[in-house]
Amino acid sequence: MGHFIHAFPPDARPYHPQLGEEPAIDPSAQVFDCDLGAWTEIGPRSHLSETTFGDYSYAANDVQIANAEVGKFCSIAAGVRINPVNHPMERVTQHHCTYRRVAYGFDTVDDAEIFAWRRAARCVIGHDVWVGHGAIILPGVHVGIGAVVGSGAVVTRDVEPYTVVIGVPARPIRQRFDKHTATRLIEIAWWDWDHMTLKQRFADLMDVPTFLEKYGARREA
């Protein structure tokens, strides 16, 4: 007979914070120079730096994001890395002693040019994007609205809206919706609705034809 473990350590509790206007950040996470939206969640041991993180988006545990723009309603799974840093391969050595010079006693100031170069290669993640476990999105890549990045994928090129990509390097395998439907969803831009509007129309998010019929441009014309 097995051993049923209710919780270990005994005082452990699942991390399911009540979300609200203030971002929910796990005590073990680290956030530096970031702009976090409302109803956002940053999970255990995650690290964000110089990043904007849109309303309702969440990062699960052990996520690393640097120099990026993450849209609203994004789902970032555990172990994801968005914008891993590049090293100066054109130098004699690509080791970071050539730009983190102060720590090694090689200079009194660090090499600001390298850090500016990294900041310039920002990743842009559109609204309603799902990034699967362990995926890596390389510097400068743009992932379109509604796209899906499969677990373990390494994204080296831009991803079109509502496209599902998998593999190393990541490649498209299908579209979530036909082009007409995708275009109409982008035109509606439901991710910009305020919280009360979302609450009132919440049930309609479950059914695409109903949603398009109610809120699409044709009905509003």
Looking at every residue in the chain, the average pLDDT score rounds to 93
> What distance in Å separates the CA atoms of residue 110 and residue 97, rounded to the nearest whole number?
9
User: What local confidence, expressed as pLDDT, does residue 10 receive?
Assistant: 79
pLDDT digits (tens, 9 = 90+) for 102-158: 999 999 999 999 899 989 999 999 999 999 999 999 999 999 999 999 999 999 999
In a domain, 5, yes or no: no
pTM of the model: 0.90
In a domain, 109, yes or no: no
Q: What is the DSSP string of the chain?
A: -----S-SSTT-----PPP-SS-EE-TT-EEES-EE-TT-EE-TT-EEEEEEE-TT-EE-TT-EEEEEEE-TT-EE-TT-EESPPP--TTSS--SGGGTSHHHHTS-SS--HHHHHHHHHS-EEE-TT-EE-TT-EE-TT-EE-TT-EE-TT-EE-S-B-TTEEEETTTTEEEEESS-HHHHHHHHHH-GGGS-HHHHHHTGGGGG-HHHHHHHHSHHHH-
Per-residue pLDDT for 196 more than 70? yes
> What distance in Å separates the CA atoms of residue 162 and residue 126, rounded to the nearest whole number?
10
Same domain for 138 and 216?
no
In a domain, 139, yes or no: yes
Per-residue pLDDT for 77 more than 90? yes
Same domain for 169 and 208?
no
Let me know: does 44 contact 29? Beta carbons within 8 Å. yes
Catalytic (active-site) positions: 87
Confidence category of residue 221, pLDDT binned at 50, 70, 90:
very low
In a domain, 99, yes or no: no
Share of the chain above pLDDT 90, in %: 87
User: What local confidence, expressed as pLDDT, does residue 11 receive?
Assistant: 75
In a domain, 104, yes or no: no
The CATH number that applies at residue 61 is 2.160.10.10
Same domain for 79 and 181?
no
By the 10 Å C-beta count (0-12 exposed, 13-18 middle, 19+ buried), 90 is classed as: exposed
Same domain for 129 and 221?
no
Same domain for 158 and 208?
no
Same domain for 171 and 185?
no
Lowest pLDDT segment from 15-24, 68-77, 148-157, 160-169? 15-24
User: What local confidence, expressed as pLDDT, does residue 14 receive?
Assistant: 66
User: What local confidence, expressed as pLDDT, does residue 15 receive?
Assistant: 65
User: What local confidence, expressed as pLDDT, does residue 219 receive?
Assistant: 43
Structural domain boundaries, residue 62 = 24-86+121-176
Confidence category of residue 220, pLDDT binned at 50, 70, 90:
very low
User: What local confidence, expressed as pLDDT, does residue 217 receive?
Assistant: 65
pLDDT digits (tens, 9 = 90+) for 168-192: 999 999 999 999 999 999 999 999 9
